[in-house]
Structure 1
Amino acid sequence: MTVALFELAFLLAAPVWLLMILAPGWSWTARVAASPLTVVPVLLVYLGLAASVVPELWTAVREPDLETFRALTALADGAGAIWAQVIAWDLLIGQWMFLESRRLGLHPLVTGPLLVLAVLLSPLALLVFLPLRAAVGSRRQGHGPARPPRP
C-alpha cells in the first residue's frame, strides 16, 4: 500500500504540472493554477502515509535533528509522507511561479522550462525564478519591486 500511495502522490499533482507547462494559455489552466485546493488530494495521501508514523513524525518535528529525521525517513511510510509533503509544496511553488509569470508577461518558452525544473528541483527553480521576477518586475515598473495588479 505504501508504494501505491507514494506513486499516487505525484500522479495526483502531474495533471496540474502538465497544464501549466503544456497548456499555459488555456483559460482553465489559470483557473486551476490559481486554486490552492490542487494540493488537497496530495495532502490526503500525506495523511494516509503519516497516520502510521505519527509518533516518529511528532518526534521529528518536536525535536528536529538529523538522526531523528533519518529515523523517520527510514520507515517506508515516513519517507512516503515526506515525499507527499514535498510534492504538495513543490506544486504550490510551481503554481505561484506560473501565476507570477503570467502577471509579468513572461513567455511560456521561459516559464515552461522553469516549471520543469520546479518539478525536479523546486528550490533551484525558485532561486532562478526570483531574480528573473525581480528583473522583469523592475523593468516593467520603471524602478523598484514589482507591484501586484490593482483590483
Structure 2
Amino acid sequence: MTGFLFEITFWLTVPFWALMIFTPKWSVTARIVSSPLIAVPPLIVYTILVAAHLPELWATMSSPNLDTLREFLATSWGAAAIWAQVIAWDLLIGAWMYREGRRLGLHPLLMGPLLAFTIIMSPFGFALFLAVRAFCDRPDRAGTVVTGQ
C-alpha cells in the first residue's frame, strides 16, 4: 500500500500543474489554482501514511536531529510521507508563482518552463522565479521580459 501511495502522490497533482502550464489564460485555471484546496489530494495521502505512525512522526519532528531523521526516512512510510508533503508544498509554491506571473503579465512561454522547472527542482525554480519577479515587478517592465518591447 505504501508503494502505491508513493506512486500516486505526484499524479494527483498533475492536473493542477497541467492547467497552470498549458492553459494559463483560461479563467477556470485561475479559479482552480487560486484555492489552497489543490493541496488536499497529496495531504490526504500524507495523512493515510502517517496515521498509524503518529508517535514516531512526533518524536522525529518535535526533536529533530540528523540521525533520527535519517532513520525516519529509511522507512518506506516515512519517505513516502515526506514525498507527499513535499509534493503538496511544491504545488502551493507553483500556484503562487502562477498567480504572481499572471499579476505581472508574464508571458506563458516564460512561466511554463519556470513552472516545469519548479516541479523537478522546486528550490531552484522558485529562486529563479523570485529573481524574474524582482526584475519584473517594476513599472512597465513585465511586458518587456518576453516581447522586448
Q: What's the TM-score once normalised by structure 2's chain length?
A: 0.91
The match for 1:119 is 119
Three-state SS of the structure 1 residue aligned to 2:13 is: helix
Mapping of 1:38-117 within 5 angstroms?
A: 38-117=38-117
Three-state SS of the structure 1 residue aligned to 2:106 is: coil
Q: Which amino acid aligns with 1:33?
A: V
Report the aligned-residue RMSD: 1.1
The match for 2:147 is none
The match for 1:131 is 131
Instruction: Give CA-to-partner distance per residue, 1:3-48, whole Å, 9 cap, x none.
Output: 1111121111110001111111111111111010011111010000
Three-state SS of the structure 2 residue aligned to 1:138 is: coil
Is contact 1:72-1:79 (8 Å) kept? yes
Q: Which amino acid aligns with 1:103?
A: R
What is the CA–CA distance in structure 2 between the aligned matches of 1:134 and 1:140, rounded to whole Å?
A: 13
Q: Stretches of 4+ moved more than 3 A in 1?
A: none
Return the offset for 1:54.
Answer: 1.6
Aligned residues, how many? 141
Q: Which amino acid aligns with 1:10?
A: F
Stretches of structure 1 that go unaligned for 5 or more consecutive residues are 142-151
Is contact 1:52-1:77 (8 Å) kept? no
Return the offset for 1:134.
Answer: 1.1
Stretches of structure 2 that go unaligned for 5 or more consecutive residues are 142-149
Is contact 1:24-1:108 (8 Å) kept? yes
Mapping of 1:6-17 within 5 angstroms?
A: 6-17=6-17
The match for 1:149 is none
The match for 2:145 is none
